[in-house]
Amino acid sequence: MLLKPITNESQYDEALDRVDVLMELQPALETELSNELEILVILIEKYEEKNWAISEPDPIEAIKVRMEQMHLKQKDLVPYIGNASKVSEVLNKKIGLSLSMITNLASALHLPLEALINLPKKHITY
């Protein structure tokens, strides 16, 4: 099979069908068929990342969703953010979240810290 970048849905579907066929064959490692399978999977992943990328949720939207789930009002966030006007400014994206707000909200709303820190993935290093 000639391998080339996947640029449309038809090619994507063909690649998925070919992966299904190859998976059923269970090719031995380091063979032509296993190499084809590995390359197809990489091409499919790249196409999916490019065309169906799911962006990280906005921290403020995550807070609002959790507030709705927990039936909280803006005033309920005062102990974690500061005062009522600061809560309003945060929820209206006029000011950013401080480190203490992030840790307080993560604990109180049972949200992962990562949901409240809006860092692009490519900048995260371990």
Which residues have CB under 8 Å from 87's CB, separation 6+? Answer: 74, 75, 77, 78, 81
pLDDT band at 102 (very low <50, low <70, confident <90, very high): very high
Confidence of residue 114 (pLDDT cuts 50, 70, 90): confident
pTM for the predicted model, two decimal places: 0.54
pLDDT for res 46: 93
Residue pair 80/105 in contact by the 8 Å Cβ criterion: yes
Q: What is the mean predicted confidence (pLDDT) over 89-102? A: 95
Task: Please report, for the chain, the start and end positions of each structural domain, with discontinuous segments joined by +.
Answer: 9-52, 59-118
The residue-averaged pLDDT of 103-114 equals 94
Decide if domain 59-118 falls under CATH 1.10.260.40.
yes
Instruction: Provide the pLDDT for residue 119.
Output: 58
